[in-house]
Chain A
Amino acid sequence: MLSDYEAIAGRSAVEELRLLSARLSGKVIQNVNSTFSGGGVAEILSRMMPLLEQLGVDARWNVIKGSEPFFHVTKKFHNALHGRKDRITKEDFALFREITQKNMKKMRLDGDIIFIHDPQPVGLIGKKKERDKKWIWRCHIDLSHPTKKVWDFLKPFVVKYDAAVFSAPAFSCGLPIRQFLISPSIDPLSDKNRELDQKTIDSVLEKYDIPQDKPIITQISRFDYLKDPLGVIQAFELVQKSIDCRLVFAGGAAGDDPESDKVLAEVRERAGDNPDIHILPISPDPGSDIEVNALQRAATVIVQKSHREGFGLTVTEALWKSKPVVASAVGGIPLQVQNRFTGLLTYETEGTAHAIRQLLTNPDYARWLGENGKEHVRYNFLVTRHLRDYLLLFLALEHNEDIIRL
């Protein structure tokens, strides 16, 4: 219930949502992405839809249909937009166009505001006809170093939108349309983030056979090269030389990510037979959210050593649990981790290891960072703020001035 958020985000934050949503009555907001489950986008949408409904906003959610080869292609696009050099062929582009055309024929896009998430459904803009309908492209990925070939292919679609939304300022890239900055968010009442009692935490650790005899360093992320799992193990090994501790690397797979099995195998091989490294593939079942929550709450320090990151919601989750965080200064992470205020930012493996050691040996400092981190999330990265930004965005599209008086 929306009112449940009053105790966490403040009564005025929820009142503000009601005031704004009242101005959108009668409008239909249609969200389109590529999957109903797995990954940050689906997670945010699934939490946000019921709240929008309670606010009286007619919000809908559709997904495009695509074959496995299509999702291989979009995964390659995703990696390429993040700057990774993957071989992308003419056939890949042709397949993308073909599936886009099929979806354009099948899908009814009749909302007043069509909200397209990420590159997979970006081509649906071809259906834009009526001027009074607003089309927004919501980019959740880091576009600061895109592979030119892929960006050149996608850009003609993007420029036809009325506005684009990015998660960090550095992600925007010289577009002739209005661009907005909206950070994603976490839901403090979801299983992944709600408070847990010690008994639940203990039972999860027992299930995964993780003794609580020494400090635990944890990274929660998909098995994906961009999350640098091998770098995490290397940093942990450096820490382990001077401090006795454990590493928990846990994560699931998104529905549209076919690469994770290969990465998992490599990570297991790299971990070898080190008894203090726990590699945990978490099932994508809804019940596993509590397990992730428990693993984060059991951690002494949480790491997010990504090479590229859209926003890094796992960092937001860690901060919300008042955990000291060591994270790479990539993507949206610097928005969340204000270095030395709400966590520590690092650039390389050695730096990461040094920061972890610093936090393990200075628990008071670690606690102070964790508490600041939680407050930072409370005011800037909860779903209530995210909802507010979306409502503001829908209103802003109808006005061109900087100060809109309702």
Chain B
Amino acid sequence: MVEWLSANWLTIFIPLLAFLATYIVGLWLRRFIDKLLGRWKEKTKWEGSEVVARAVRRPFLLWVVLLGAAIAIQVSVLSPTVKSISGKAIGSLFVLSFAWVIITLGERLLRMYLPRWKVPQTTIALTVNIARITFIVIGVLIVLDIWGLPTSPILLLLAVVVLAAALAFRDIVPNLFAGLQLSATQQLKVGDYIKLETGEEGYVTAVNWGNTHVQALDESTIIIPNSRLLHGTIINYGRPLRKAEEPFRFSSRAHLTELTGLKAKNLRELVDCLKQAPDGVIYYHTHHFLEQHHYLTPELSNDFAIWVSDALGDEVLGERLATIETFASPNLGTLRERLVAVMEDYLSQGSNFREAMPGREFHFMKSVSVTMPTSYVVHDLREFVEALRKISLGSLFLHIFDSRLRLGRGLNDFSIWLEDDLGETELAEEVNRLDPYIYTLEGLRSALIQLIEKRIK
């Protein structure tokens, strides 16, 4: 043994010396790089710099050892085959360790930055895993290449897998990126009221990596893919307004006309029937014209006035009856008294004894109203005004006209809710002051919307 050592000491000593020299240079280089990184950290003040420095520092000694071993083997007297195999092994170890550094670095940076963009945890985990797999695959491919093994079949397999994944997730991927972009740009946040050009609207309740949840006016949840939000036009009304103690539930009403069998051919008969007719009849004849001809600018607003003018040909009395303000009557009893008073006063003057032509008699009718809940349930002024744009004219009629006189509430339903449940006393009063009889129904809808929009601003 000693003999062998004394004969071959040079063949052992030189590689050993080369290894030690490399290691010492490596140690010195690490200290130098440490200093450089320290200065760079101070200079950039980038919070990621610490992560980069730590990731590079840890495997540095391993790389120095690998480099030393490689040089030692090259200067040794080992056979070329052993040298080649050892070189490949050391190269492979370096590639794998380098890939590990990149993976660690990438993961730490992603975990540092993605939460700041409010990316959900599930998305972060998914992104980290994708990055991890990508670098492992690249590392393995390089190692295979070092050993001279064919990489084409693996690349082909990978291409197929990637293609299959792309196809499988073709809908998800754009939404995922759109979600990232929405979060990064803060275009919409939970709590915002949004309206899409395609008609969906409501409060944003969640922004996920693939889609956004919106609570619609009917309290249902609409799930909208993020890519649609990114590429379509959205109106964002911003943060929610004050919520009501109780939501306003819109109802609708439809009515059916019932014939009472009562009819009048002159003013005397008209007054007599009017006195005994049920309230539903008074309501019908003072309101149905509004609803049936709501597209016209309001003309004479009650059937009595129209009939007296048209069928009896008495325009003076027609005008007197038309100018009785339905809005000024607190209930149907008062309205009936006012109509009867005008007619009796006219009769007492002996002014009208005309009779309607056969077929033009006044037929007393009443409406049978059916009220039913709609899907619109609103909690604040934003939702209220958006629902107002959508409800049927029957619904508007019910809450404005029916509630005041027919259902005997004295006020319209909107004012009651605005005052009692939302504390909007001033707005409630403004809505209450609006005389609905001087508008067409669509005009009334616009006037209400304007009042509320003004309040929201």
A170-B359, A172-B259, A180-B258 known; A15-B374 Cβ under 8 A: yes
Write 19 A-B pairs (CB below 8 A) sorted by A numbering: A12-B391, A15-B392, A19-B252, A20-B254, A169-B363, A172-B259, A179-B258, A179-B259, A180-B257, A389-B256, A392-B370, A395-B370, A396-B370, A402-B280, A402-B367, A402-B368, A403-B371, A404-B370, A405-B372
Q: Which residues does chain B contribute within 8 Å of A402, judged by CB atoms?
A: 278, 280, 366-369
Chain B CB within 8 A of A338 CB: yes
- Judged by a CB distance under 8 angstroms, whether B292 is at the interface is yes
- In the complex formed, the residue of A with least CB distance to B251 is A405
Specify which of B255, B256, B261 is in contact with A172 (CB 8 Å cutoff). B261
Whether the pair B390, A169 counts as a contact (CB closer than 8 A) is no
The closest CB in chain A to the CB of B373 belongs to A406
In the complex, per-residue mask of B301-338: 1 if CB is within 8 Å of any chain A CB, else 0: 00000000010000000000000000000000000000
Set B310, B361, B370, B373: member contacting A20, Cβ < 8 A: B370
Contact across chains for A406 and B294 when beta carbons are under 8 A apart = no
Nearest chain A residue, comparing its CB with the CB of B366? A402
Compute how far the CA of A94 lies from the CA of B310 in the bound complex, rounded to whole angstroms: 45
For this complex, into which size category does the number of interface residues on chain B fall? 35 or more
Chain A residues with a Cβ under 8 A of chain B? 10-13, 15-16, 19-20, 23, 144, 166, 169-170, 172, 174-175, 178-182, 329-330, 338-339, 341, 372, 375-376, 378-380, 388-389, 392-393, 395-396, 402-406
Given A396-B370, A404-B370, are A338 and B293 neighbors across the interface (CB < 8 Å)?
A: yes
Contacts of B363 in A (CB 8 A): 169-170, 172
Which residue of chain A has the shortest Cβ distance to B369 in the bound complex?
Answer: A403
A174: chain B residues within 8 A (beta carbon) = 261
Which residue of chain B is the closest to A403 with respect to CB atoms?
A: B369
A181 near B365 (CB under 8 angstroms)? yes
Docked CA distance A191–B295 (Å): 27
The B5-38 residues at the A interface (CB cut-off 8 A) are none
- Asked if residues A404 and B391 are in contact (CB atoms below 8 Å), the reply is no
* Assembled-state Cα–Cα distance A159/B368 (Å): 21
A404 touches B252 (CB 8 A): no
Quick check: is B286 within 8 A (CB to CB) of the other chain?
Answer: no
In the A-B complex, the 7 residue pairs with the closest CB atoms: A12-B392, A169-B363, A181-B257, A406-B372, A179-B259, A392-B256, A375-B295
Indicate if the CB atoms of A341 and B296 lie closer than 8 Å: yes
Is B77 engaged at the interface, CB distance under 8 Å to the other chain? no
A330/B359 contact (C-beta < 8 A), A19-B374, A180-B259, A402-B367 known: yes
List the B residue with the shortest CB-CB distance to A176.
B261
A-B pair number, CB within 8 angstroms: 101
**How many angstroms between the C-alpha atoms of A144 and B265 in the bound complex?**
14
A305 to chain B, nearest CB (A): 16
The answer to whether B118 has its CB under 8 Å from any CB of chain A is no
Contacts of B293 in A (CB 8 A): 338, 341, 376
- Does B388 interact with chain A (Cβ within 8 Å)? no
Q: Does B406 contact A (CB under 8 A)?
A: yes
> What would 20 more interface pairs be, CB under 8 Å, given A10-B392, A180-B259?
A12-B394, A12-B395, A16-B254, A16-B392, A19-B252, A172-B363, A178-B258, A179-B259, A181-B257, A182-B257, A372-B295, A388-B254, A392-B254, A392-B256, A392-B370, A395-B370, A396-B370, A402-B366, A402-B367, A402-B369
Does B390 lie within 8 Å of A12, measured CB to CB? Answer: yes
**A182:B256 contact, CB within 8 angstroms:** yes
Q: Assuming A13-B392, A169-B259, A404-B368, is B292 touching A329 (CB within 8 A)?
A: no
User: In the assembly, what is the distance between CA of A175 and CA of B261, in Å?
Assistant: 8
| Shortest Cβ distance from residue A142 to the other chain B in the assembled complex, whole angstroms | 10
Chain A proximity of B313: nearest CB distance (Å): 13
Least CB distance from A234 to B in Å reads 22
Contacts of B255 in A (CB 8 A): 392
Is there contact, CB below 8 Å, between A403 and B406?
A: yes
| Residue among B278, B366, B372, B406 with most chain A CB within 10 A | B372
Residues from chain B with a CB closer than 8 A to the CB of A375 are 295
In this complex, which of B310, B373, B392 has the most chain A Cβ atoms within 10 angstroms of its Cβ? Answer: B392
Contacts of A396 in B (CB 8 A): 256, 258, 368, 370
Whether A329 and B359, one on each chain, are in contact in the complex, defined by CB atoms closer than 8 angstroms, is yes
Contact of B256 among A11, A12, A166, A180 (CB under 8 A): A180
A16 and B252 within 8 A (CB): yes
CA distance A403 to B251 in the complex (A): 13
Residue of B nearest to A23 (CB): B372
Distance in angstroms between the alpha carbons of A328 and B236 in the assembled complex? 55
Q: Is the CB of B392 within 8 A of A379?
A: no
A178 to B365, CA, bound (A): 12
Interface string of B402-422 (1 = CB under 8 A from A): 000011000000000000000
A181 with B359: in contact, given A20-B372, A380-B292, A406-B371 (CB under 8 Å)?
no
A169 vs B285: C-alpha distance when bound (angstroms):
13
Cβ of B128 < 8 Å from any Cβ of A?
Answer: no
B381 shortest CB reach to chain A, Å? 22
Cα–Cα, bound, A402→B452 (Å):
33
The answer to whether the Cβ of B393 comes within 8 Å of any Cβ in the partner chain is yes
What are the residues of chain A within 8 A of B371 when measuring CB–CB? Answer: 403-406
Smallest CB gap from B361: residue in A = A170
A180 to B391, CA, bound (A): 27
Complex alpha-carbon distance, A137 and B191, angstroms: 56
B368 touches A392 (CB 8 A): yes
Chain A residues, CB < 8 A from B407: 403
Chain B residues whose CB sits within 8 angstroms of the CB of A170 once the complex forms = 359, 361, 363
> What is the bound-complex CA distance between A180 and B278, given in angstroms?
16
- Closest A residue to B363 by CB, please name it: A169
Complex alpha-carbon distance, A225 and B366, angstroms: 35
Which residues does chain A contribute within 8 Å of B310, judged by CB atoms? 339
Nearest-Cβ distance from residue A226 to partner chain B, whole angstroms: 15
Write out, one digit per residue, whether chain B residues 330-370 have a CB within 8 A of any chain A CB (1) or not (0).
Answer: 00000000000000000000000000000111010111111
The CA of A389 and the CA of B361, in the complex, are separated in Å by: 24
Within the complex, which residue of B292, B359, B372, B390 is in contact with A144, where a contact is CB–CB below 8 Å? B359
Q: Which of B280-300 contact A (CB under 8 A)?
A: 280, 292-296
Kindly list chain A residues whose C-beta atoms are within 8 Å of the C-beta of B280.
402
Distance in angstroms from B253 CB to nearest chain A CB is 9
Q: Which of B256, B278, B295 has the most CB of A within 10 A?
A: B256
Give the residues in chain B near A341, CB-CB below 8 Å: 293, 296
Cα separation A341 to B300 with both chains bound (whole Å) = 13
Chain A residues near B365 (CB-CB < 8 A): 169, 181
The CA-CA distance from A16 to B371 in the complex, in Å, is 10
Residues of A within 8 A of B294 (CB): 379
